[in-house]
Amino acid sequence: MKKHILCIEDEAAIRSMIRFSLEREGYVVTEAADARAARDAAASSPPDLMLVDWMLPDVSGPELIRRFRHDPLTRDIPIIMLTAKSEEDDMIHGLDAGADDYLMKPVSLKALSARIKALLRRSEGFDEQRVINAGRLQLNQNAHQLRIDGTPVHLGTTEYRLLEFFMQHPEKVYSRAQLLDFVWGQNTYIEERTVDVHVLRLRKTLKTHAAENVIQTIRGAGYLFSAIESTGD
């Protein structure tokens, strides 16, 4: 079955360019020029992935992403933010809103295609039931669900993949560069700072269940996952 992409962009020329390129690669593409049309489109036919422009006429891209993340229908759909904003703080703001990736304009169609493929690969489920247990945490890889002390905990797509990698490789330090390669993919061109942003978001979620210290910062080296929680960084 063809993957469905929802492209949310107010400039018709850019939407058409992206749609033409992605349809040539075999995707089904739906267009939306503003946040209202985007939410209607997502509700009527939930996509496999969304592209969200930062500057929309009715609601900002980050705010739209926050709304998607609070909607049970769309909260787990991978999202790539498209923006002309180049400052690091803007990137962090977009990722912190719930975006899984961030692509600068003018959009490189080759880079966009690679990132879409990488996110879709990471978001696909598995037929077999696989569960990882680590202390108080249990990760059901088939359902993409985390439980802490038996309580379901929602994670975004990238935070889920990051935690999954950590739980598969406990008690070993990984640098930011290594995590980018293993979790995001070797052909992904994003800054190492992105890792810190997603680790922070993951820790915030774990903190609601007093489990944030399973991910430890090893100064000057990177991050380590340990089911035996430390008392701090």
Task: Give the percent of the chain with pLDDT over 90.
Answer: 58
| Alpha helices (runs of H) in 6-156, residue ranges in sequence order | 12-24, 35-44, 61-70, 88-97, 109-123
From first to last of its 233 residues, what are the pLDDT tens digits of the chain?
789 999 999 999 999 999 999 999 999 999 999 999 999 999 988 899 999 999 899 999 999 999 999 888 888 899 999 988 766 777 788 788 889 988 888 888 999 999 999 888 877 653 345 788 998 999 988 778 899 998 999 998 889 999 999 999 999 999 998 998 888 876 556 778 889 999 999 999 999 999 999 999 999 899 999 987 555 44
Pairing between β-strand 79-83 and β-strand 101-104 as defined by DSSP bridges: parallel
Phi, psi at residue 61, to the nearest 5°? Answer: -55, -50
Q: Looking at this protein, which amino acid is placed at residue 102?
A: Y
Whole-angstrom Cα distance, residue 123 to residue 144?
9
Whether the pTM exceeds 0.85: the reply is no
